[in-house]
A and B are shown apart, each in its own frame.
Chain A
């Protein structure tokens, strides 16, 4: 699953259209759009909104190993060498107010510019400009990252910002914002597909049959949570050694324990069986 947050609907629209995302009516707090493998949430403007929105998204639709989160939106550039409409993949994100820095792992090749993003709590105007350390500035990146890093590893969190102005206080209308994002949707979308393919999927240790057999044995032997955990660990190692787990569990399949002593005795026997190497 790819998780995306944007601050405004006009930033999200090109992605909603591109991936044919449908509004999730179950979400009433934030506007959420999704299909089977993409989910996008509009956070609202500002660092706190971005953090709250990302937290909501990743809590309500919990990610698994191999999923990716991305914050996308427009930004201002300090330097006119970076052209308007240019996408910047951020390798460092500074939260201006706290001074805290975030570092997405730059594991994948990409077609974008790279740079340092600095997130401010209010719009950066000419007066604030001299205090800018980053190459580009926004009002969400650091908040979104801080929230997302609670859920995903640093190689699976990215921030792409598209330059819309040079911090001169000019306001853009919604259509202009959409156009700037739209121009980068093909490249961003292609890159997301590449990264999605590279991020490893979880490899289940057990087949369905093995899972069911394990659950049956745990239930019949009346194992405590700690013993169940220990059994699953040993069973996992046993399957990795390419040994037939169901065959090893079979002698214990129909045993039903009625006392603690029995639990202890049969668990030790089963443990011994699974530790054979």
Chain B
């Protein structure tokens, strides 16, 4: 909801911090050409801005800035245990962008990153080289949009198109692009690829309204999905994270019904289910920043450093969603 004070904040990306070594990169130039009204500030290293102590994630979310940088060191990471591997042995993820343009109340990024500003690593080709090195040893399942929403940022970065181009040249690479965006339009002209899964996170309308600030509506997401499956793309539906509310059963029941009224179950590649879970350390940081959040007012249970709902609630929510979804999708295509 807009307030009368909204016009007093600088617009998103009003300022762009540019690392000296990134400034001449063609991708940086392309991004800057798309944001001509932004003010540029030269920096030595992205961490000088992104990793300052005493940043206010909540304040920065009112007017996030872009940071253009060159990624060095480790470019690919082994998939985390809190993430679903969908039966893939060689599960990796990469963060060519850090942070997300949306502002979901439950998002783990606000506990993981010290800043709400968005870092774009312009040297995508270095990540491609590392993927190619891995591909020499084994097939790779790679999630490219975990700590961001690449499709939502496509108008600025063009990274999804670059990744799809890369995937089209490497059959033994499977890419998952996770998104809440309704921006299928940005890739509508790219022919579908058998080794790319477009994965949409779906939530009930009430959860979107209350906790997913700035994200497209459920209807808008479903429209995008419909266009993607009609074009022949593999689509994964992710009911993840499932958020506990006092009325969760009715909300998620209605959500599943709406999804499969809109989409043909046969057109869906698979479905992923996961109740909300977050690292204990991230939760501690978020509590400080959002003491009044209802999502984080749940008395979480901790298991091996990961906080989640009570085992009773977890089972009840997962079983309910599984049973609702299995009315439309065979059980072997539902992952949790």
Chain A contacts to B: CB under 8 angstroms: 91-92, 101, 103, 105-109, 114, 116, 149-150, 152-156, 194, 197-200, 203, 205, 233-234, 236-238, 240-241, 274-275, 277
| Minimum distance in angstroms from B39 CB to a CB of chain A | 6
Determine the chain B residues whose CB is within 8 A of the CB of A240 once the complex forms.
291-294, 297
Contact A153 B56 (CB under 8 A): yes
Chain B contacts to A: CB under 8 angstroms: 5, 7-10, 14-15, 17, 39, 41-44, 48-49, 52-56, 58-60, 62-63, 65, 287, 291-294, 296-299
**Which residue from B39, B49, B53, B291 sits with its C-beta under 8 Å from A103?**
B49
Q: How many A-B residue pairs have C-beta atoms within 8 angstroms? Tell me.
A: 93
Contact A107 B294 (CB under 8 A): no
- Roughly how many angstroms separate A109 CA and B55 CA in the complex, as a whole number? 19
> What are 19 pairs between A and B in contact, CB < 8 Å?
A91-B39, A103-B48, A105-B56, A105-B65, A107-B10, A107-B63, A108-B8, A108-B9, A150-B54, A153-B59, A198-B62, A199-B59, A200-B59, A205-B292, A234-B299, A236-B291, A237-B296, A237-B297, A238-B297
| Minimum distance in angstroms from A54 CB to a CB of chain B | 14
Contact A107 B291 (CB under 8 A): no
| Minimum distance in angstroms from A194 CB to a CB of chain B | 6
Contact A154 B291 (CB under 8 A): no
Determine the chain A residues whose CB is within 8 A of the CB of B49 once the complex forms.
103
**Which residue from B7, B41, B56, B294 sits with its C-beta under 8 Å from A92?**
B41
- Roughly how many angstroms separate A238 CA and B10 CA in the complex, as a whole number? 36
Determine the chain A residues whose CB is within 8 A of the CB of B52 once the complex forms.
103, 149, 154
- Roughly how many angstroms separate A236 CA and B211 CA in the complex, as a whole number? 20
Residue in chain B with minimal CB distance to A148: B54
Determine the chain B residues whose CB is within 8 A of the CB of A92 once the complex forms.
41-42
- Roughly how many angstroms separate A109 CA and B14 CA in the complex, as a whole number? 10
Interface of A is mostly: mixed
Determine the chain A residues whose CB is within 8 A of the CB of B287 once the complex forms.
233
**Which residue from B10, B42, B291, B299 sits with its C-beta under 8 Å from A108?**
B10
**Which residue from A149, A198, A277 sits with its C-beta under 8 Å from B5?**
A198
| Minimum distance in angstroms from B46 CB to a CB of chain A | 11
Determine the chain B residues whose CB is within 8 A of the CB of A203 once the complex forms.
291-292
Q: Known contacts A205-B292, A237-B299: does B41 contact A91 (CB below 8 Å)?
A: yes
Residue in chain A with minimal CB distance to B294: A240
Contact A109 B8 (CB under 8 A): yes
Contact B59 A107 (CB under 8 A): yes
- Roughly how many angstroms separate A107 CA and B55 CA in the complex, as a whole number? 12
| Minimum distance in angstroms from A229 CB to a CB of chain B | 12
Residue in chain A with minimal CB distance to B49: A103
| Minimum distance in angstroms from A243 CB to a CB of chain B | 9
- Roughly how many angstroms separate A274 CA and B297 CA in the complex, as a whole number? 11
| Minimum distance in angstroms from A268 CB to a CB of chain B | 14
Q: Known contacts A103-B41, A237-B298, A240-B292: does B9 contact A198 (CB below 8 Å)?
A: yes
Contact B10 A109 (CB under 8 A): yes
Determine the chain A residues whose CB is within 8 A of the CB of B41 once the complex forms.
91-92, 103, 116
Determine the chain A residues whose CB is within 8 A of the CB of B48 once the complex forms.
101, 103
Contact B54 A152 (CB under 8 A): yes
Q: Known contacts A91-B39, A154-B54: does B59 contact A105 (CB below 8 Å)?
A: yes
Determine the chain A residues whose CB is within 8 A of the CB of B65 once the complex forms.
105-106
